[in-house]
A and B are shown apart, each in its own frame.
Chain A
């Protein structure tokens, strides 16, 4: 059995009377991709926000790398080894691609708060930044202004920034959203490469990508898990087919 890096138990988030996430338990394992799918409004993004600390859960617990991180703020959870990307591109648009990733790498450098030496002089940070850019295939675009590169490249940048913090656990919220076919193929190849050494949660609508990547598949509807298991088994599940996959589930 692979090592469990993140374990959430009976997570619930209520907004007024609505339970956006209702008693969801989920595990992420090292070297494995756990995909979460479901219709819009199923609570996937809320679940991601609960795991990353962007939202505090109403009840339930989250364990990250062996520590109970329930109720921790995002920066503390990030330093505990969790990196996330966002559904809507969430970058530093006026900065260069390099500076976006360098800032992410700086967050893990000792003396990061040093006041008087130039930020470009920290070799360990630069090396970490260069590695993340190379891994995500953006090294040729490092001088470009982040707000001016293509949407697909911005999605790659999201990943590069997440990687530069050296996380063990990756939460990727729709990394393929809005991508063209070629860009999506590159992103799938990148995610496969990242599977090694990381525990990954993948929230995604692109079913081809999900079935190409996922080792484990969870289906959410109305804030609850209706099926969870090996992708092939989940796909065959009658409940899932009627609730979500519909035609798509049988198209192969």
Chain B
């Protein structure tokens, strides 16, 4: 018996085709792009993983976390602590360890925050993230306001992450694995329960679902996946500083998810790519008559997001879907 699916979560064939083309383009990119752009696209993919992890809370479960960068940062810092000054460290145990550190932090913080609802949830997630931020910012032992350097990329034995192309493809593999995992999760009984919580938590409880446990599991998993992104970020950039777990970072992740379209993970990736690209674009704007337009990139970004929200409430992916559907109708 077929199960009809809510519109927000299903990707029509036309969008699926676009996504496959996008993956092919990503796979081919290092052959045509310069080192600079290869690194930039790798960074976009890392932010894509981060945005997907937030989408699990924001778009699927309906939990607006305004402190998601904390879990991104914790895993990155874990890599910084685990990497000695003068030698690389193995990927195969530091990656699980760093992700576990983020997951543990999310589990402990989640234990308190998922009891709260609505505006209180937003405030409490932010408050905990600020606590984590200042813990690192104010402690010289934790790197202080300058942060920590990671002198070596993790060592994987089988492949060499110091090679920019190899790092790129490793990141791409992580992106695709996380996407495939989350898409499966979305249609599993667990994913359906999370969607039920987003739509009507009260009714879920009346039907016997212990929603606290479901929300805590989602919060922990989202923290772990944010940690994966943070680990990759630390490995790629070679440093971690408190700004990476700060308020702006959390807010950027929300903008990415809204920009791309919530609740289907593909939108989160599209949003992360668009956000990072626009950031690059706006920061390079020329000065116009003594007005430094590049310095005020947030102004243009804000304007762009307002336009997307007003004219494409389902994000860029939703917009693509609408345009493709119109084209199909015209061609038919």
Nearest neighbor of A118 in chain B, beta-carbon distance:
B187
Q: Could you tell me how many residues of chain B have their Cβ less than 8 Å away from some Cβ of chain A?
A: 33
Q: Complex formed: what's the CA distance from A116 to B180 in Å?
A: 10
Is there contact, CB below 8 Å, between A115 and B3? no
With beta carbons under 8 angstroms apart, the residue of A94, A99, A145 that contacts B3 is: A99
Contacts of B191 in A (CB 8 A): 115, 119
Q: Tell me the number of A-to-B contacts counted with CB atoms below 8 Å.
A: 114
Contacting pair B208 A107 (CB below 8 A)? yes
State the majority secondary structure of interface residues on B.
helix
How far, in Å, is B190 (CB) from chain A's closest CB?
Answer: 5
Q: Does A250 contact B (CB under 8 A)?
A: no
What CA separation (Å) do A118 and B6 show in the bound complex?
15
- Residues on B with beta carbons closer than 8 Å to the beta carbon of A78: 205-208
Instruction: Using CB atoms, name the residue of chain B closest to A104.
Output: B207
Chain A residues with CB under 8 Å of B3's CB are 96, 98-99, 102, 119-120
B145 in the interface, Cβ–Cβ < 8 Å? no
For the complex, is B193 an interface residue (Cβ under 8 Å from A)?
A: yes
Q: Tell which of B4, B7, B8, B204 touches A98, judged by Cβ atoms closer than 8 Å.
A: B4
Identify the A interface with B (CB < 8 A). 52, 54, 73-76, 78-79, 84, 86, 90-96, 98-99, 102-104, 106-109, 111-120, 122, 125-126, 130, 143, 145, 161, 165
CB of B75 to closest CB in A, whole Å: 21
Interface centre among B4, B185, B191 (most CB of A within 10 A): B4
Between-chain CB contacts (< 8 Å), 19 pairs: A75-B207, A76-B210, A86-B206, A94-B7, A95-B195, A95-B196, A96-B3, A96-B5, A96-B6, A102-B3, A106-B189, A107-B207, A107-B209, A108-B208, A109-B189, A113-B190, A115-B188, A117-B189, A120-B1
Question: B189, A74: Cβ atoms under 8 Å?
Answer: no
Closest CB-CB distance, B180 to chain A, in whole Å?
10
B4 A103 Cβ-Cβ under 8 A: no
